[in-house]
Chains A and B, each alone.
Chain A
Amino acid sequence: MQQYDLPDASGHFGAYGGIFVAETLMAALEELKAEYARAKADPAFWAEYRHELAHYVGRPSPVYHARRWSEALGGAQIYLKREDLNHTGAHKVNNTIGQALLARRMGKKRVIAETGAGQHGVASATVAARYGMECVVYMGSEDIKRQSPNVYRMKLLGATVVPVESGSRTLKDALNEAMRDWVTNVDSTFYILGTAAGPHPYPMMVRDFQRVIGEECKVQMPELIGRQPDVVVACVGGGSNAIGLFHPYIDVPDVRIVGVEAGGEGLQGVRHAAPLSAGTPGVLHGFRGYLMQDADGQIMETHSVSAGLDYPGVGPEHCYLKDIGRAEYTAVDDDEALRAFHDCCRLEGIIPALESSHALAWAAKAAPAMGRDQVILVNLSGRGDKDINTIAGLSGISL
């Protein structure tokens, strides 16, 4: 395989990515691109980033052998990359620390963020408190209902949570509203985008800050099993935890890469959130990528039991990896994800996020058909405490 070195200078991963925003934001993105290039070349920037990850986040996160679950499935050994053990309970903080350090370099005192499940909102509010910045988080009013513990958490951390009432009142609408805020307050404000999507340089920048996941795994797996895993798997909404795990493995040809989208109520209908599995390319939120859209190019409302995957687009690098065949993308539905959620709780004593449960569900389906000496590494991207109201509700229990 040729050396993989994307995006190109204008932010393209093959046909995907780019910069599709209104003119007012072009200068801000140019400024961000230039400052990130300087930071990227500055050892002091990375030294501080690594110091924060070690002492504030608690990295490296361990890799754990899910022995009982693997035995119960009777096939491949399942290993979990424990991003759920990070401070704030998910992989999101790897990125918010990087972007907040960048915001500080740029002298921006106010940060804004969009959030779906609330994990990125919490991670943004956290770093804003840590670095003494004002923080405003946009969140769809539907998601506010689904994820009330995280809403309160953000408020405790001093952030302002703004409910978004437009469109489908979920993550995509929160992103629209964050962009509107940014365009209005572009001089004072840094937009901490939460996933590996949006206009260039965000997909590249978010990936670079999440790469630590895969880089650690590349060291940890040989220590644990004497080699790299046969498969790495992660859930894909916008795709930041997945690209963080996948990217360091792209040039390791023997490692199979699998991204798992939210199949919702099934791919045959429209109640899902799986643009790579069942969508078509288009332009939304500043980049070109696969989208859930109708024949007229209107963005469709998506559905997933997990708010963090309930997004009609997917980061441009995943689109490219799909097209060149280096990664494969598939979907698991709500029921399969919920089953994996419960199995992980009872067999391993770990309550996984509903998002991560999609990746777990794929592993649980694939493992029995694989040999006992084979290894699946799952990115357990977040913990499920935030989801207990949803799970209880589905079981007819009110907490």
Chain B
Amino acid sequence: MSRIAECFNRLAGHKALIPFITAGDPNPKLTVELMHGLVDGGADIIELGVPFSDPMADGPVIQRASERALKHHVSLAQVLDMVATFRLENTYTPVVLMGYLNPVCAMGFQRFAERAAACGVDGVLTVDCPPEEADELTGALVAAGLDPIFLVAPTTPPDRVARIGQLARGYVYYVSLKGVTGAGHLDIAEVTGKIAALRESITVPIGVGFGIRDAETARALSGTADAIVVGSRLVQEIEAAEPQAAKQRLARLVAELKSAIR
């Protein structure tokens, strides 16, 4: 069983909290520490952003995080090394890489999948690679024992949801609003209804993210979702903190979110 499936088993119906941070933000030396801080706060799974020069699906907060990381020339290879270092102390918290396809193309799908598995990565979400174009990458990931994570959007028609449901492993990431990461207001009633409908064709757990900015929203959505993803709000915390205080501030915020969804 994959580490992600084990994690949801362990939770036994309790909701998972999935914080997101960008690898290398604010600098590459801090990332592994921040990952441990997320776990200290109560993170069940970590989504680790792979910085990319052209983050088309991200709002300004995560764009800036990518830019800060790229000032330090943080590469996909380095991100994998960070996960390997994290694994020296933590063998139970699943790590999902989230990013864009091109850095993965540049490394080569096969080589990437093998190295990622060897470093202790558990799942991979490439935002700009829909199922139609994902065969080769998904094949390489599954062969290496990694879970390909797919997005489902408010605009995804039912037949596509069913198709994604067949391909999905680990969990499905439901995008709670039409927009970029960290965007405005999500409609809780609408999202709740959508998630309930997704259950008809999706058997893996369903996480929800994009626009979850506070404990109250997280609590409201945890009624129907299996997992809550929080990204931009945490990245803002990193942005606002002195580097030495960032770990503590992240842990505190994650703990607050975690207790809200318990």
Contact = CB atoms under 8 A, between A and B. Distances in A.
Interface of A: 10, 18-28, 166-167, 172-173, 176, 179-180, 183-187, 281-286, 291, 293, 295-299
A299 B106 contact: no
A176 B56 contact: yes
Contacts, number: 122
B187 interface: no
Contacts of B54: 167, 172-173, 176, 284-285, 299
Given A296-B103, A297-B106, A22 B156 contact: no
B128 A22 contact: yes
Given A180-B180, A187-B178, A19 B132 contact: yes
B75 interface: yes
Given A21-B56, A24-B153, A296-B77, 19 more contacts: A18-B133, A19-B133, A21-B130, A22-B153, A23-B156, A24-B178, A26-B153, A27-B155, A167-B53, A176-B56, A180-B57, A184-B180, A185-B178, A282-B102, A283-B101, A293-B102, A297-B76, A298-B70, A299-B54
A26 B130 contact: yes
B145 interface: no
B133 A296 contact: no
A296 B178 contact: no
Given A19-B130, A21-B128, A183 B105 contact: no
Nearest to B59: A180
A25 B160 CA distance: 13
B86 interface: no
A24 B75 CA distance: 27
B243 interface: no
B225 interface: no
- Provide the main secondary structure of the chain A interface: mixed
A178 B183 CA distance: 15
Which range holds the interface residue count of chain B?
A: 35 or more
Contacts of B150: 23
Interface string B74-85: 011100000000
A27 B151 CA distance: 13
A125 B44 CA distance: 49
Contacts of B107: 297
Contact of B175 (A24, A167, A185): A24
B179 interface: yes
28 contacts: A22-B151, A22-B153, A23-B130, A23-B153, A23-B155, A25-B155, A26-B130, A26-B155, A27-B153, A27-B155, A166-B63, A167-B54, A176-B54, A179-B56, A179-B57, A183-B180, A184-B178, A184-B179, A184-B180, A282-B106, A283-B100, A283-B101, A283-B105, A296-B103, A297-B52, A297-B102, A297-B106, A299-B102
B75 A296 contact: yes
B129 A20 contact: yes
